[in-house]
């Protein structure tokens, strides 16, 4: 039987640069209730920032659009965060996830966003369709204090 989350948050935000901080802050507040360690919280904040930044910058290219965030917390300390956009999509997800790969020609991006999401979580899945959008699914196990 599939376990139901003990708490859940759904958040829809317009793809504005300032909403990177809003998304990070809201997920952070949601997770705080589950008593994470300082490191766990910092990791989650960082991973969420990278995903939302990608939606703002790459998916919508700084044009109007919406970002859908869904966070779920389970009894065993498992946290899942899903960040979805309806932007341009990624033609080759495996290539996009390669460390240092970036389509940014301005030299502003490091190409390390997915690598950061990967290293700061316990699981990362990315699904995307060109012209349809991108969904980033992350999970992390909060280690409970004995
Ligand atoms: N939500 C998204 N929509 C469209 N393209 C994306 C999205 N997220 C990532 N990408 C593509 O994947 C590449 C790698 O992303 P990332 O690892 O975060 O590096 P960076 O953002 O520094 O380019 C981006 O340059 C972009 O081409
Ligand atoms: Mg990025």
User: 146 lies in a domain?
Assistant: no
User: 88 lies in a domain?
Assistant: yes
User: 47 lies in a domain?
Assistant: yes
Ligand 1 atom closest to the CA of 50, numbered from 1: 18
Here the CATH number for the domain that contains residue 115 is: 3.30.565.10
- Is 54 tagged catalytic? yes
Range of the domain at 52: 7-141
Confidence of residue 145 (pLDDT cuts 50, 70, 90): low
User: 101 lies in a domain?
Assistant: yes
pLDDT digits (tens, 9 = 90+) for 57-102: 999 997 999 999 999 999 999 999 999 999 999 999 999 999 999 9
| Cβ neighbours for 46, distance < 8 A, ≥ 6 positions apart | 116, 120
Q: Which of 77-102 are b and which e, b meaning 16 or more Cβ less than 10 Å from the residue's Cβ? A: ebbbbbbbbbbbbbeeeeebbeeebb
pTM value surpassing 0.85: yes
Angstrom CA distances, 57 to 18, 60, 125, 127, stand at 12, 6, 20, 18
Number of domains in the chain: 1
User: 2 lies in a domain?
Assistant: no
User: 62 lies in a domain?
Assistant: yes
pLDDT digits (tens, 9 = 90+) for 30-46: 999 899 999 999 999 99
Residue from 19, 24, 45, 50 carrying the catalytic annotation: 50
């Amino acid at each position: 039987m599939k376990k139901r989350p003990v708490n859940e948050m759904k958040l829809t935000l317009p793809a504005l640069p300032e909403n990177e901080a809003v998304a990070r802050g809201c997920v952070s507040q949601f997770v705080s209730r589950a008593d994470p360690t300082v490191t766990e919280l910092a990791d989650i904040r960082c991973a969420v920032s990278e995903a939302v930044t990608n939606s703002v910058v790459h998916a919508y290219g700084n044009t109007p659009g919406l970002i859908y965030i869904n966070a779920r917390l389970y009894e065993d300390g498992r946290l899942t965060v899903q960040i979805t956009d309806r932007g341009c999509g990624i033609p080759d997800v495996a290539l996009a996830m390669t460390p240092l790969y970036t389509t940014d020609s301005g030299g502003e991006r490091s190409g390390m966003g997915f690598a950061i999401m990967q290293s700061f979580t316990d699981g990362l899945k990315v699904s995307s369709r060109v012209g349809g959008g991108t969904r980033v699914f992350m999970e992390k196990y909060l280690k409970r204090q004995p």
